[in-house]
Structure formats: C-alpha cells, structure tokens
C-alpha cells in the first residue's frame, strides 16, 4: 500500500463512523417513540435555549430525552407531584424560529424553576390530563 491511499482510507473510515452514528440516532429515536406515553417536545429551562427531544410519561416522573444524544438515560427528570401547570401560549416571534411549527408553549413550574415545553396541542392535552390525574400522596390530599 502506498502513501497516496492513506487519505482515502481515513476519509472512508470517518464516513462509515458518521453513517453508523446517524443509524444509531435513528434507532434510538425509533425505540423511544415506540414506547407508550412518549411525545416529541422541545424544552427550555429558565429562559435557556430550546432543545429538541422526546418526553416520556412514567408513573411518578416525566422524563425528557435529548434528541441528538445516544444516551439511554433521560437528560431531565421531573417528579409528577412537584410539577405545576402554569398555562399554555402561542410561541413568540423569536421562538417561532427555534421550535417546531404548529406547537403551543407549555409553561410549568418545577421546584421554583420555570420549565417550558414546545409540543403540539394533542401532546399538551395529554400532559395536562397526566398531571391532573396524579396519584393521591396522603390521606385527604390530591397530588
């Protein structure tokens, strides 16, 4: 093998690595979305940047997975009993370029921190129902 073939081998290896990573991202997203109780939702923590991802409802937690990550662990976990729904609104002009089309921005309060999710209206209805149907914590208390 001569030295002129080395750049082509390196370029082919980088291309194969990139293709494998894209396939792994696609498989991960497919597996996440197959699970019941998952919706596409962007997140913004306390006026931070918007990040695309997938939310998953559990019995006592709302989990959010980063879309561009291979990690099987959720990036954020929100305890159901500590979430408070503040309301929903249309995206502002500056937010429209950062979130998906035809979404509502849902504002939640979690342990004195504001969390915003951008999701379609049917996902918002599911989130509101999930929060309202929270389990009883103690005798005579709801949520």
- pLDDT tens digits, one per residue of 96-123: 888 888 899 999 999 889 999 999 999 9
Which three-class secondary structure state does DSSP give residue 20? helix
Query: Quick one: tokens of 136?
Result: 């009883």
Q: State how far the Cα of 79 lies from the Cα of 97, in Å rounded to an integer.
A: 30
pTM for the model stands at 0.76
- 25-41 pLDDT, tens digit per residue, is 788 777 777 777 788 89
Residue 141, pLDDT > 60, answer no
> Which tens digits make up the pLDDT trace of 35-91?
777 888 999 988 789 999 899 988 889 999 988 887 888 999 999 988 999 999 999
Euclidean distance between CA atoms 129 and 139, whole angstroms: 22
Q: How far is CA 95 from CA 34, 38, 51, 104, in A?
A: 28, 23, 12, 11
**Residues contacting 107, CB < 8 A, separation 6+:** 85, 86, 87, 88, 89, 114, 115, 116
Contact 72, 32 (CB under 8 A): no
pLDDT over 80 at 7, yes or no: yes
Q: How far is CA 7 from the centre of its chain?
A: 39
Q: Give CA 85 to chain center in angstroms.
A: 17
CB atoms within 10 A of CB 117: 25
């Amino acid at each position: 093998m001569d030295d002129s073939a080395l750049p082509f081998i390196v370029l082919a290896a980088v291309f194969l690595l990139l293709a494998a990573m894209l396939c792994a991202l696609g498989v991960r997203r497919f597996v996440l979305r197959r699970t019941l109780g998952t919706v596409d939702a962007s997140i913004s923590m306390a006026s931070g940047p918007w990040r695309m991802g997938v939310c998953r409802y559990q019995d006592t937690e709302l989990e959010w997975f980063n879309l561009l990550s291979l990690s099987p662990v959720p990036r954020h976990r929100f305890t159901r009993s500590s979430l408070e729904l503040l309301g929903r609104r249309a995206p502002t002009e500056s937010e429209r370029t950062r979130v998906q089309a035809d979404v509502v921005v849902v504002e939640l309060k979690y342990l004195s921190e504001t969390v915003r999710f951008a999701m379609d209206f049917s996902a918002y209805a599911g989130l509101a129902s999930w929060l309202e149907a929270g389990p009883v914590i103690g005798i005579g208390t709801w949520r």
